[in-house]
Chain A
Amino acid sequence: MTIMIDTGNYIAAKAAVMAKPDVVAAYPITPQTTVVEGIAKYYSTGEYAGEYICVESEHSAMSACIGASAAGARTFTATSSHGLLLMHEMLHWAALARLPIVMCNINRVVGPGWNIWADQNDSISQRDTGWIQFYCSINQEIFDTVIQAFKLAEHKQILLPVMINYDAFVLSHTTMPADIPDQKDIDHFLPRYEPQWKLDVHNPTTFGNIILPQAYFKVRKAMQDAHEHAKKMIPKINAEWETITGRSYGGLFEEYRCEHAEHILIASGALGAESKIAINRLREKGMKIGLARLRVFRPFPTEEIIRYAEQADLIVIDRNISIGNEGAMCTEIKAALYEKSDAQVTGFVAGLGGTDVTYKDIEKMCTQAVQGKAKSGAWYGLKEDV
């Protein structure tokens, strides 16, 4: 095991290379660029021994990944913001084709106005494509999640693409230490990819043919079943990783000081890491509050949400907005609790456009919610005089 002190993007590149993909196809976009730069560097030194496909757009990057994965290759890519949006059609294709492609998406604002800072609207808008979605809070977790994502995606009862999301600049360009396991440990955890179907001249099949309504219905149901199965597999894979590295993120949620909590804060991404400091300070003040950091947005962890609501009222901070309604995570949490719980859910929208959200801001939001002074759906930190 070695310590690597580097940015989230270079650590993601290191993880991707250590997972030994056969093919990487990617197109650069701020703030993802250094992920593919990192992989290119490993390619030039021979540390990455697979194929590196330079493409002319993100739509082509995802298409190349689909072709490679369909031929039985372990496949990786990375993108961000408008790049992810340009992939949209092929994201649906990858998921319906049941191809275990792993992709890092660095959460960046969607323009206009042109803005490269952090917010989650890019990945939230791809919610319904069928991709499994992880949200990471620190660079170490980025490394660990990339490796775990390949194992999850390639599991024969899952076979779904996985998107690993983390915040632009807050994580992608911020240097932190990360423990890097030995290659042999990763190889043991993540053996060579054995595809469950592939385009093969020795066993000829075609893919994506016209299918009748009932057959399509069945294909969709199979995807849904795979997502349900992923809910069970994510904690298992996390536990297996813990035996190798000693690190655990809990599974679908990372719980922090939730014992005897009367309020539970739900946040994701880098806000989740910042929230831990806020929770510590609020606990010192005597507030019975804990944090459930949402790691997995798809499949949505409905059962855990219900469990938290049995114990406490919920406070939700969304770094995204479904315009015309409210933060997407808040909506889904309320839907999960329908007819199951009468717990209070107080949602905040904060940090859009890369607006800084500090532990003090999170403290204020939690305090307002606990005191009943916050209206759900409130936009925290919006300055009218800008």
Chain B
Amino acid sequence: MKKYQVISTISYPKIGANGKTGTWRIFKPILDKAKCVKCLRCWIFCPESAILRNNDESIDIDYDYCKGCGVCAKECALKAITMRREGDQE
């Protein structure tokens, strides 16, 4: 990556340490892999890019960055993702 010399507000891409959710998420999505057909609608709609695609097109949820907004659960046609309150027993 080329670094520019000028002193101004230029940001370089890196792992988004500042984008991590921390402790303030209230709801979290729970994925039922048995119901999932790998359609990837959740991956398309997730505003935080917190849906991870595996090589076999199956998905996982990156809880470090997931904000618990519930969009993936709303968009999943097969209800393979449900939202649960943080701390509740799965």
Contacts of A203 in B (CB 8 A): 1-2
* B1 with A197: CB separation less than 8 A: no
A204 to B8, CA, bound (A): 15
B6 contacts A by Cβ under 8 Å: yes
Give, as a whole number of angstroms, the nearest-CB distance from B11 to chain A: 4
A222 contacts B by Cβ under 8 Å: yes
* A204 with B9: CB separation less than 8 A: no
A209 contacts B by Cβ under 8 Å: yes
Per-residue B-contact encoding for A200-226, CB less than 8 Å = 1, 0 else: 000111111101000100110010000
* A207 with B2: CB separation less than 8 A: no
Contacts of A215 in B (CB 8 A): 9
* A205 with B12: CB separation less than 8 A: yes
A-B residue pair count with CB separations less than 8 angstroms: 45
A98 contacts B by Cβ under 8 Å: yes
* A97 with B13: CB separation less than 8 A: no
* A98 with B8: CB separation less than 8 A: yes
B54 contacts A by Cβ under 8 Å: no
B4 contacts A by Cβ under 8 Å: yes
Give, as a whole number of angstroms, the nearest-CB distance from B9 to chain A: 5
Per-residue A-contact encoding for B1-29, CB less than 8 Å = 1, 0 else: 11011111111110000000000000000
Which interface residue of B4, B8, B12 has the most chain A CB atoms within 10 A?
B8
A206 to B11, CA, bound (A): 5
Q: A203-B1, A203-B2 are in contact. Are A97 and B11 (CB under 8 A)?
A: no
- From B2, which residue of chain A is reached at the shortest CB distance? A203
- Residue tally, chain B, CB below 8 Å to A: 12
Give, as a whole number of angstroms, the nearest-CB distance from B10 to chain A: 5
* B10 with A197: CB separation less than 8 A: yes
* B8 with A97: CB separation less than 8 A: yes
A355 to B85, CA, bound (A): 73
Give, as a whole number of angstroms, the nearest-CB distance from A306 to chain B: 29
Give, as a whole number of angstroms, the nearest-CB distance from A220 to chain B: 10
Contacts of B2 in A (CB 8 A): 203
Contacts of B7 in A (CB 8 A): 98, 218-219, 222
Contacts of A207 in B (CB 8 A): 8-11
Give, as a whole number of angstroms, the nearest-CB distance from A340 to chain B: 30
Contacts of A209 in B (CB 8 A): 9, 11
Q: A203-B1, A203-B2 are in contact. Are A197 and B8 (CB under 8 A)?
A: yes
A96 to B7, CA, bound (A): 10
Binding site for B on A (CB under 8 A): 96-98, 156, 159, 196-197, 203-209, 211, 215, 218-219, 222
A-B pairs, 9 with minimum CB distance:
A222-B7, A197-B4, A209-B11, A206-B11, A196-B6, A98-B8, A203-B2, A197-B6, A205-B10
Instruction: Give me 5 A-to-B residue pairs in the complex whose CB atoms sit less than 8 angstroms apart, sorted by A's number.
Output: A203-B1, A205-B11, A205-B12, A209-B9, A219-B7
